[in-house]
Amino acid sequence: EAGQSSAGQLLDALAKRGVLCKENVSTETSFARAERLRSRLTQLAVSKGLADPALLTANIHVDPDFRGNRSPWADPQRRGSLIGLGLPLGDDSEEDHTAVIWLAACQALAYQTRGIIENLRVAKHNDSWIRQIVVSGGLANDPLYLSAHADVTGLEVTRARDGEAVLLGAAVLAASAAQIYPDVPAAMRAMTHLLSAQESVFPDPRLKTYHDAKFTIFNELQSKVGIWRKSMNDALQI
């Protein structure tokens, strides 16, 4: 979940900002809302002559730590931010702004995942030991979330065949404790399965330079948070 306690909840909260979302918030499911926003992003990219919807976020930057951060900062006091907000003008609607912010948040979660991976690589002194990302849970059903992670990290992204990761993990531990399998790794090998390689999502090499630039900005934004908070805490000492 990209260092978050509830990445899906963050995305859904941002998705509800638009007028159309507010009108349907009591009846529209989060999956239907995400599908509608993905469709709108595709239309926007075509109307603006962009090669990919990912490029719509060039001037929108998100720090996704709205509810603190588990990894890599381990700081529950961190809070999120949106940079580059504007007012809907001309042909742009509030719904379009909502869709782009939602996309930028998806990408920000992928940047955070990339940050975690890079920290792990530094700790291991090995650039190649992580070759694949396996996604489970509700966000595994969001193709935009999967493609963002593939494009940002440069890794293959695949899904677990069994979507209920928490339940499956509990079953793995129970099977090991009951000595159905000799240990947890053996139970994992027997009970967990990935979808076929044909269903994996692979990075689009055209977007590498774009995401590298946004990742640099993302890191600069995150590095400033602690400095800003300390400055304001010091200013409170009146």
What single-letter amino acid sits at 146?
A: L
Handedness of CA 42, 140, 73, 5 (dihedral sign): positive
Distance from CA of residue 152 to its chain's centroid? 10
Residue 208: per-residue pLDDT: 97
Residue 34: per-residue pLDDT: 86
The model carries a pTM of: 0.85
Residue 24: per-residue pLDDT: 56
Spans of the chain, pLDDT less than 70:
1-5, 18-26, 88-92, 125, 127
Spatial distance between the Cα atoms of 129 and 152, rounded to a whole number of angstroms = 17
Spatial distance between the Cα atoms of 115 and 71, rounded to a whole number of angstroms = 9
What does residue 85 show for φ and ψ, rounded to 5 degrees?
A: -70, 145
CA 194 vs CA 132, 161, 183, 185: distances in Å: 11, 5, 20, 16
Residue 25: per-residue pLDDT: 56
